[in-house]
């Protein structure tokens, strides 16, 4: 939605059924995406959440305060056209998942990573039938082809709207496995975020918290929570 600006001209925003799903209407006028496509979403709950965002606008429209609308626009304008490309991009995280690359020291950090990450690699092996190998350091390690095929199939099962949310979950955590656990109700987004930040938390404990880094981390955490909410609204 970069470069898109508008001022409130409507009195009421409503969520309504339409051909192919649900939409938002502003005084009866159907909302369009930035690419001028019809704003059609798969569930009434998603349309209602977007309508509340539109209804909350005062004066100039501020897209940064409309996470549901922005994610839906992305699903329609981008993932509707580039879905296979995005599926491939996200599935590739299975070959370099955060959980598979461990610290070489100190022992306390090694132990903390193992305690936090091993259970979810175990879950991937049992529930997803996709075991992954672990290594110490940053030198790439090859993963079983069968596991990567199964993980790609799990990603390919998402429709464009759930894929939009899943994209943010993977990008923020750096882990395909943690993101899949969130979508399957095995982890909350907050839990997944904490697991993805074990290294950063360890460093902060020893060296203190940098205010700029803390602000950036808070923004990422909020974005992950918003992705979790958007995914739930798609169901």
Helix (H) or strand (E) holding 23: strand 21-26
pLDDT, residue 80, reads 83
For the segment 85-104, what is each residue's pLDDT rounded down to a tens digit?
999 999 999 999 999 999 99
CB-based contact 38:30 (threshold 8 Å): yes
pLDDT, residue 207, reads 85
CB-based contact 159:87 (threshold 8 Å): no
pLDDT, residue 5, reads 63
CATH 1.10.3580.10 in the chain is located at: 83-233
Q: Does domain 1-65 have CATH number 3.30.2180.10?
A: yes
* Gap between the Cα atoms of 232 and 30, Å rounded: 24
pLDDT band at 212 (very low <50, low <70, confident <90, very high): confident
CATH 3.30.2180.10 in the chain is located at: 1-65
In three-state secondary structure terms, 188 is coil
For the segment 39-76, what is each residue's pLDDT rounded down to a tens digit?
999 999 999 999 999 999 998 999 999 999 999 999 99
Per-chain mean pLDDT for the chain: 95
DSSP result, 79-148: IHHHHHHHHHHHHGGGGS-GGGEE-S--HHHHHHHHHHHHHHHHHHHHHSS-----EESSS-----HHHH
Architecture of domain 83-233: Orthogonal Bundle (1.10)
């Amino acid at each position: 939605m970069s470069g898109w600006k508008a001022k409130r001209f409507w009195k009421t925003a409503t969520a309504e059924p339409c051909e192919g799903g649900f939409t938002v209407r502003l005084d009866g006028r159907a909302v369009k995406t930035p690419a001028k496509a019809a704003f059609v979403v798969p569930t009434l709950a998603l349309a209602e959440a977007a309508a509340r965002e539109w209804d909350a606008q005062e004066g100039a429209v501020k897209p940064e305060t409309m996470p549901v609308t922005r994610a839906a626009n992305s699903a329609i304008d981008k993932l509707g056209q580039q879905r296979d490309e995005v599926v491939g991009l996200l599935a590739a995280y299975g070959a370099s998942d955060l959980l598979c690359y461990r610290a070489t020291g100190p022992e306390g950090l090694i132990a903390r990573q193992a305690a936090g990450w091993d259970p979810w690699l175990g879950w991937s092996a049992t529930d997803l039938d996709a075991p992954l190998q672990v290594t110490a350091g940053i030198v790439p390690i090859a993963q079983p082809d069968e596991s990567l095929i199964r993980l790609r199939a799990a990603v390919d099962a998402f429709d464009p709207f759930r894929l939009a949310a899943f994209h943010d979950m993977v990008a923020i955590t750096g882990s395909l496995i943690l993101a899949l656990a969130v979508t399957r109700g095995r982890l909350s987004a907050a839990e997944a975020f904490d697991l993805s930040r074990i290294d950063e938390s360890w460093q902060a404990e020893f060296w203190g918290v940098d205010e700029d880094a803390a602000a950036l981390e808070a923004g990422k955490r909020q974005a992950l929570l918003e992705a979790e909410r958007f995914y739930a609204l798609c169901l």
